[in-house]
Amino acid sequence: MENSVRPSSAIAYVYRGTFVHSTQQTALQILEDALLGVDTEGKIAFIGEGKELEKLSQTFGFSTSEVTQLEQHEFFMPGMIDTHIHASQYSYAGTALDLPLLQWLNTYTFPVESRFKDLEFAHRVYTQVVKRTLRNGTTTACYFATIHTDASLLLGKIANDFGQRAMVGKVCMDRNNGVKHYKESAQESQDETCRFIKELLNKKYPLVKPVVTPRFAPSCTGALLGQLGAIAKNNNLHIQSHISENVEEVQLVKELFPESESYTDVYHKYNLLTDKTVMAHGCHLTDEELDLFRETGASLSHCPNSNFSLCSGVLNVRNVLKHKVKLGLGTDVAGGYSASMLDAVRRTLDASKVLTIQDPEHNTLTFEEVFRLATLGGSQALSLDDITGNFEVGKDFDALRVNVAAPDGPIDLIQYEGPKTHLEKFLNLGDDRNIMEVFVAGRKVLPLTEPTAE
């Protein structure tokens, strides 16, 4: 099993015990009595078997006495990747779920998001959402902020300070009849997006990057969508937005963009479907639209809590995967009421079972497949799978140390049942009490340490 490269950096620490992760070929791979070394750059230097301890210690120059041994009820898994979350909506998560999407936006979302011109309010909300997601094992988050550039930059700073890997998007929208003061002109949106990108990149945060963020087609004119497509291309940036979330929205897009063949075609026309694009939802995409996703390399973010909570629809994940479209999971706070990716895992399983209830021929997703979607699938959806998503030599060590027998935790273990059962119990029953440590790029970010004031 030894998998290693000659050391270029010193070894920072070595763990011995059980590691669970996904590969391209296998939804769940379990490595028992494994040794994993992390170098001072935060990258995985080697993965080997426990019996190779002496040889690896000589090769990589670490002392066998410095190896950290996991307990029987502990394992390491890759950090979870939230491919779609609205950081600016966190303050009302768990409420306001009584309306369908378009009315929900006008009644609850836009009035709250308009408050983020107040940087003190923004700091309070963004600090809480970064801390909460890290506690729940989200090592990478793809965030929507608001139209406010300075508050969006603040979200990037907070994610960096706490050590979370993040993509941060300043929201763009030049069309909004519901809350008229919460929008920009197309020129203003273009200028502020360019300022946001430039200033965030100038910070040189190692793990926080900008993502071009048209809110969704109904809130943007074609002119703005075209400008944003050009900005993303010229800066080689990621793109995020929403697509085909509910039936009313799909119909609205038809009316606003009558010249386009489909909702997907709107984004494609304006060069917003690339291999660095992630679109949330997609509940009502046709097979032809999924083919276009596959051809362009664009990804989907499945947000089942939100789809249930707003009665938007049920995405057929199996069909998406059949079309070979990249797919990850998202919490979609606050349309989704939970900021925990464990909830996204559970609701993904529920959604698949609902489809099986409706059609007994439907091939229900397994927990192993959904585990992959929450980790490696998310990294593929965000085009970060060369950096993170599983345990491979040379990748960053983004990981959760899980103890299924944590004192006062939510899981009661009656007897030792092996790591596969432990993982299944954690995914179905676990919470932040089971997550002992969180690492991002080799840095321990949980237990949380408050950033020092500059």
Q: DSSP letters along 407-430, please?
A: TT-S---SS---HHHHHHHHHHH-
For residue 447, say if its preceding peptide bond is cis, omega within 30 degrees of 0. Answer: yes
Alpha helices in 25-163 (DSSP H): 53-60, 101-104, 110-113, 119-135, 149-162
Query: In one letter, which amino acid is 202?
Result: N
pLDDT at 98 over 70: yes
Query: In one letter, which amino acid is 283?
Result: C
Half-sphere CA count of 8, side-chain side, radius 13 A = 7
pLDDT at 145 over 70: yes
Residue whose entry in the numeric block shows the structure tokens 């399983």: 349
Over the stretch 146-205, which tens digit does the pLDDT of each residue have?
999 999 999 999 999 999 999 999 999 999 988 878 999 999 999 999 999 999 999 999
Residue whose entry in the numeric block shows the structure tokens 């299944």: 424
Mean pLDDT of the chain: 96
Neighbours of 441 (CB within 10 A): 21
Over the stretch 7-21, which tens digit does the pLDDT of each residue have?
568 999 999 999 999
pLDDT at 292 over 90: yes
Closest CA to 173 of 195, 148, 153: 148
The DSSP 8-state label assigned to residue 121 in this structure reads: H
C-alpha torsion angle, residues 95, 99, 100, 104 (rounded to 10): -70
Reading the block at residue 261, the tokens are 């063949």
> pLDDT at position 453, please?
59
Strand partners of residue 48: 35
Give the architecture-level CATH label for domain 80-382. Alpha-Beta Barrel (3.20)
Query: In one letter, which amino acid is 160?
Result: N
> pLDDT at position 8, please?
67
3-state secondary structure of 350: helix
Angle, nearest 10°, between helix axes 222-235 and 186-202? 20
> pLDDT at position 15, please?
98
Mean per-residue pLDDT, 212-237 = 98
d(CA 425, CA 403): 11
Every domain of the chain and the residues it spans:
11-78+391-446, 80-382
Alpha helices in 300-418 (DSSP H): 304-309, 317-322, 341-358, 367-372, 378-381
Q: Considering only the top CATH level, what class is 11-78+391-446?
A: mainly beta
The DSSP 8-state label assigned to residue 115 in this structure reads: G
Q: How confident is the model at residue 405 (pLDDT cuts 50, 70, 90)?
A: very high
3-state secondary structure of 209: strand
> pLDDT at position 6, please?
53
